[in-house]
Each structure stands twice: as structure tokens, then as C-alpha cells.
Amino acid sequence: MTFSATTVLVLALIAAVVVAIGLWAYSTANRLDRLHVRSDQSWQALDAALARRAVVARSVAMAIAGPVSDPALSEQAGQLAALADRAERAGRAERETVENRLSTALSAVDIGTLRPQLVAELADAEARVLIARRFHNDAVRDTLALRTRRPVRVLHLGGTAPLPSYFEITERATPAASTGLAVDTIRTTARVVLFDENDRTLLMRGNDPKTPQVSFWFTVGGGVEPGESLRAAAVRELYEETGYRGDPAALRGPIWRRVAVFPFNGELIRSEELFFALRVRGFDPQPANLTAIERRSITGHRWCTAADIVTLDRSGETVYPYHLDELLAEAAQAASGTGDPEVRSIR
């Protein structure tokens, strides 16, 4: 039996389509497998963060009860301890409900009665829950976006793995403490990793006004004002701290996200920092519009290579973010590119 040229062409096209579908299905199944692993790992990280918060909540309950016999405080401490215990034992189905009740109980605590160290520990535990929950929900979103596509469902490429679910809990807003140690809610900060033509990055030198003898180094940037976009805040802070007028469209990123809990000027700050990368011609920074607190806390600047950053760290002057010397190559590549890379978490 012979085949015509048309028949051979049709068969070849069918074979090509089958192969293409097979390759697509194989790559999609592998991608789904990686997304499932990511979802599972993000849940494990969130579960660990929630467990740590429960431990801290139990410490808070013990501190509230204290040596003084106060029926109201004893009742509050007992409820808080009971909720912390229940949160540790709760299954996945009821975890959201229990954790929300724990958040509500923590919101009712007057942190002005707690030791500053315990306040800091609580703020750090809640910041870790916040960032872990966001990463988990991001992983769930990406997994569901692919799993719910019609071709994926028709071909059962997700296998037997259960669909992941979002985890939503309220975020505790902590009032200012009467002791003067204030724990802020998350403050969004836009930062710029600024490079010159020699791949040096600009760092600012500063200190906490309460401890002027301890210096540290950090990237240009500051808090986002109400109604302001991240890019607008980044170029505004860049101009105010260095005198350089940047183009928001030239910023690459955000490339990194960092959640930090730290004391500053008598307050405990919880800041979510988002980093952009920008390449410019080298210039001599001249502050254009520093605030009063910035004039007190910013003491200098320096264009640094990765080796310079290592030297600063070894001298005892910490550089933020941590391990910036190891991150510079990634930021420099982003600054030289034309697209915006996917944001990732750093310390």
C-alpha cells in the first residue's frame, strides 16, 4: 500500500501536534509538581511561624498574670493561654478560626505593661506570621491559576494532589505603648539599590539617635506616604537623600522584599521594605530635603563595591540588608536589564 504526499503530510502534522501536546503536558505537569511542593513548603513555614507566635502569646499571658492578683487580668491571661494552646493543637480545617481568635486576644493586650524585650519578641513573631502568610497565599494563587485552566483539568495534569487553600487571618494593629516604646503596624518602605558605571552601590551611613555611638550602613530609601506609589516614593527619597532626580520608569523591580523589626529613636519599627535597582552615572550625593530626624541620624555616604561591604561588616558597622555583598550581582544585573524580575524575599 502506498501513501500520497498529502497523506504523509497530514500524518506528519498530526504526529507533530501529538508530540507538541505531549511536551506541553509533560512540562506543565512538572511545573504543577513544583508548584505543589512550593505550596506545601510555604504552608510548613507558615505553620512554624504560627506555632512560634503561640509560644510568644503564652509568654505574654504569663506576663499579664504576673505576681499581682487582678481578677480581670487573670481572666485575660487564662483566655490568651487557652487560645495559644488550642492554636497549637488545631487541625487545618479550624486553624483560621482559632488563629483569628488569638489575634483578637492579642489585640486586647496593653503592651505598655509588658517588658520591652517581650514586646519586641511579639512584634517579631507577628511579622514572621505576616510574611509567611503572604508567601503561602502567593504560592496558592500561582498553583490555583494553573490547576484551574481547562486543558489542565481535562487532562488531569494535577494528578490526585488536593487543591491548596488560602489562609486568611486578621493582622493585629498594636497601639502605642504608654511607656514610650511604640510598636508600629507594618510600614511600607521603598528602597533603591543605586549603581554607578563601575558597579559600585551607594550606601548611607547612619545611627539610631538613641545610640549614636553605633553606626550602620543602608541603601537609599524611606517610608511610602499615604496615596503614594512605590516608584514615586523611591525617586522622592532618592532626591531627598542624595539630590539625584531619578526617573520612576527607569527603576527595575521591586527585586527584593524584606520584613524587619528594629528599634529606632525610642520606637519599635516593623517595616516591609521593597527594593528597586537603578543604574546612574556616578555623582557626589548632596541631600536635598532631609527631615529633622534624618539630619540627626544620617552621618555620611559612600560608593561601595562588594569587597568594601565585607570590610564594613568586619569592622563592626553592620550593612543592611544582610549579605548585601552577595546580592549585589543580582541587583546589578536587574539594573542593567529592561524588564522587572520577580520579587523575592531576603533578610
6-22 pLDDT, tens per residue? Answer: 877 887 788 888 887 78
- Residue 35 grid coordinates: 508548584
- pTM given for the model: 0.52
Mean pLDDT, residues 290-309 taken together: 90
- Residue 146 grid coordinates: 494553573
Which residues lie below 8 Å from residue 274, measured CB to CB, with a gap of 6+?
188, 189, 190, 191, 230, 253, 254, 256, 257, 343
When mean pLDDT is compared across 237-246, 282-291, 324-333, the lowest value belongs to: 282-291
State the pLDDT confidence band at 174, using cuts at 50, 70 and 90. Answer: very low
| Distance (Å, whole) CA 17 – CA 303 | 55
Are the C-beta atoms of residues 279 and 255 closer than 8 Å to each other? no
Q: Which residue would you say has higher pLDDT here, 164 or 116? A: 164
Indicate the DSSP class of residue 67. Answer: S
In this predicted structure, the answer to whether residue 179 has a pLDDT above a threshold of 60 is: no
Annotate 334-344 with b (16+ C-beta within 10 A) or e (fewer): bbeeeeebeee
In this predicted structure, the answer to whether residue 26 has a pLDDT above a threshold of 90 is: no
State the pLDDT confidence band at 193, using cuts at 50, 70 and 90. Answer: very high
- Output the pLDDT for position 176: 38
Helix (H/G/I), strand (E/B), else coil: 110? coil
Of residues 305, 284, 287, the one with CA closest to residue 296: 287
- Residue 230 grid coordinates: 512605590
34-48, 211-225, 273-287 — most confident range: 273-287
Percentage above 90 pLDDT, the chain:
27
State the pLDDT confidence band at 67, using cuts at 50, 70 and 90. Answer: low
Q: Cα Rg for the chain, rounded, in angstroms?
A: 26
| Distance (Å, whole) CA 326 – CA 217 | 16
Helix (H/G/I), strand (E/B), else coil: 189? strand
| Distance (Å, whole) CA 77 – CA 292 | 41
